[in-house]
Structure formats: C-alpha cells, structure tokens
Amino acid sequence: KEVTMAIVGATGAVGQEMMKVLAERDFKIDELICLADPREEGTQLKFKDEVITVQKVTEEAFRKADIALFAVGTEISKELAPIAVKNNCVVIDNSYAFRLEEGVPLVVPEVNAEDIKSHKGIIANPNCSTIIMTVAINPIHKEYGLKRVVVSTYQAVSGAGKAGIDELDEHIKAYMKGEEMKPSVFQYPIAFNLIPHIDVFVEHDYTREEMKMVWETRKIMHLLDLKIAATAVRVPVYRSHSESINLETYKPVTPEGVREVLSRAPGVIVQDNPQEKLYPMPLYTSHKDEVFVGRIRKDISTENGIAMWVVADQIRKGAATNAVQIAEIVVKDNLY
C-alpha cells in the first residue's frame, strides 16, 4: 500500500539519511513531502529519480501526510508533533521530546516491535547510543537474564550533525598549522582529544546522554529495575558510535554461548577473532545498518560476566534506519 510520507528536517544529516534509506528499502510512497526551516524553503532534494522542493512546515502538509518522520531538535518536535497528530498524521520522532512519555512507545524493532501497536499518534525513536546497545544486549538478556550493565561510549562527531563534522575538520586543519582550535559545537577542541561531556549534566553528575542510556533502555526492554551505568565520551571520529559494554547475567554465561546467541540475533553481525585481528571499528562500520559485535570475552572481574565491544553507524541504525523500520511496521500492520 502506498503512503504519503513527510520528513520534518529533511535537509539535516539524519533527514537526508532517512531519504536515502527510504529509497534503498524501496518504501512504497506515493508522495514524499520534504519539510524544513523556512530558510531552507526552495532547496531541491533528490529522491530516487525525482527532485523534491523543500517546503516550510504547514498544517496542510500534515493533513496530506499519513506518516511524518521527525529529524529535528527536541523543542521543534514538542511544538510540531501535536499538530501532526491532530491532523491524523502518525509521528515517528527522532528527538528526545516524547521518549519517556507515558503512552508513547519507544521502539527498537529488533527488541520491542510489539510496542508499536499501542501508539496514540507518536512513536519515539531512541537515542542512537541506546539503539546500538539494546540491539546487542537484548539477545543476551533473553538467553541469560541481564542483571547489570556498565557501558562506556565513544561517540562520533556526526552525532552533533554536519556542524560536528565541520568542527572536527577545522580543528584538525588548525592543529596541523599550529593554530588555535576554537570550539563552538563541542565544549573543547575535539581534534586529538576526548571530551567526557555530551549534552548537559543532570543528577549524580551524570550527563543526560549517559542517563538516556539508563532511562531509555529500561523502557525499551521493559526492565524497569535493570542496574545500568554509563559514561558517554565524544571522540574525534567522523561517523559510527562505539561502545565498551560489561554485562552481568543471572545465569552462567560463556563467550562461546554469547557468540552463538548473537550470531543468530536480528540486526547483529559478530566480528570476533582476536588471533585474526577481527573486531569492529568505526572506520569500517559506517554506512551499514547492522550492529557489529566483537572482543566478546569473560568479564574476569565477576562470576557471570561478559565484556564486549559494539560498533554501529549512529546516523543509520542509530537514527534513520531505525525510524524507517518503525514506519515499515506501521504501514504493514495498518497502524496509521
């Protein structure tokens, strides 16, 4: 069945990736409406063999659209999503605005696709680092029962959009010329540096980026008392987030068992052979949709523990592809 699809924020890094993924997956669309900030009005965007002119957001556009993928900031989503819902347009929102709201499903299709049917107009796309982690740890939870998670993330600069990519470029050039690196997107120079600060600081001196992994994972996996702690770090990598994850399970667990479980898990590719120097790296996982897992080994600091290394393209599976997969289910199950 063909639908009318809108993308709000079509000219941004995630919006552009959504268009690419929709085309690649041959999503059945009779009309694609590209919406963006009025300053972008008139921009021409390529979609399959068409050229689509960007429009500013109007209520009329939401009246026409069956589904709207939102790839804008939290404040804009808060303002526009209710208008879309009022016009019977189902919203799949990539921002933080509604993720923790009662009655808004927060969905990673490989983990909790069944939650989509309970939507009341808005379905939230989790934060990229949460999506990447839950795809990898959910199969292990199903087999061994998850007791505790400790995760450190190594987040690419494109998590902050095109501006993040440009800042890394500028800082590398400045560093090579011996000039001062002037931060604007990030708190400090990002070239040849690591910044343990993404988003703002909230309770217990954690950042909101770190607490998103706690709050969102518990909601997605329906594990409201899962013990989880995170450290989120910005690293001078263009694309793909990496995560070092330590897991404690209730049942006895082995690396061989985890490798076997993950090798048949949806959306996961195991790349794990230390003797062959085989493990995932962001330089090689970008522009792919799978979550890559390697360095699977016993966590030697505890009884039933596993350590592993997880890498995925945070613009694709971490945002655009996850949102399009949700839209595919909404259409397939006629939930719009």
Binding site for ligand 2RA (CB under 6 A): 127-129, 155, 159-160, 198, 209
Among the listed residues 215, 226, 207, the one whose alpha carbon sits nearest the alpha carbon of residue 100:
215
128 is annotated as an active-site residue: yes
Q: How far is the CB of 51 from ligand 2RA (least distance, A)?
A: 28
The single residue of 119, 141, 171, 241 carrying the catalytic annotation is 241
Q: How far is the CB of 113 from ligand 2RA (least distance, A)?
A: 22
Q: At what angle do helices 128-144 and 255-263 cross, to 10 degrees?
A: 110
- The Cα–Cα gap between 53 and 35 comes to 9
234 annotated ligand-binding residue: yes
297 annotated ligand-binding residue: no
Sheet holding 90-93, edge to edge: 55-56, 29-36, 3-8, 67-70, 90-93, 122-124
**Residue nearer to ligand 2RA on the CB measure, 282 or 305:** 282
- The Cα–Cα gap between 138 and 265 comes to 9
Burial of 245 (0-12, 13-18, 19+ CB in 10 A): buried
- Contacts of 165-174 spanning 24+ positions with Cβ under 8 A: 165/13, 165/238, 168/236, 168/238, 171/236, 172/236
- The Cα–Cα gap between 227 and 239 comes to 29
14 annotated ligand-binding residue: yes
Bridge partners (DSSP) of residue 46 are 51
99 annotated ligand-binding residue: yes
**Residue nearer to ligand 2RA on the CB measure, 159 or 305:** 159
**Tokens, residue 265:** 């898990």
- 51 CB neighbour count, 10 Å cutoff: 8
305 annotated ligand-binding residue: no
Cα-Cα-Cα-Cα dihedral sign, residues 287, 269, 70, 210:
negative
Q: Which residue is nearest to ligand 2RA (CB)?
A: 159
Q: How far is the CB of 109 from ligand 2RA (least distance, A)?
A: 19
**Residue nearer to ligand 2RA on the CB measure, 7 or 128:** 128
84 annotated ligand-binding residue: no
Within 8 A by CB and 6+ apart from 82, the residues are none
Q: How far is the CB of 93 from ligand 2RA (least distance, A)?
A: 13
Q: How far is the CB of 66 from ligand 2RA (least distance, A)?
A: 26
**Residue nearer to ligand 2RA on the CB measure, 126 or 294:** 126
295 annotated ligand-binding residue: no
**Tokens, residue 241:** 């987030």
Cα-Cα-Cα-Cα dihedral sign, residues 33, 36, 38, 44:
negative
Q: How far is the CB of 58 from ligand 2RA (least distance, A)?
A: 27
89 is annotated as an active-site residue: no
**Residue nearer to ligand 2RA on the CB measure, 125 or 271:** 125
**Residue nearer to ligand 2RA on the CB measure, 68 or 198:** 198
The single residue of 89, 128, 141, 171 carrying the catalytic annotation is 128
Residues belonging to the binding site for substrate are: 155, 234
Catalytic residues: 128, 241
Annotated binding residues for phosphate: 99
Annotated binding site for NADP(+): 11-14, 158-159, 314
Q: Which residues are annotated as a binding site?
A: 11-14, 99, 155, 158-159, 234, 314
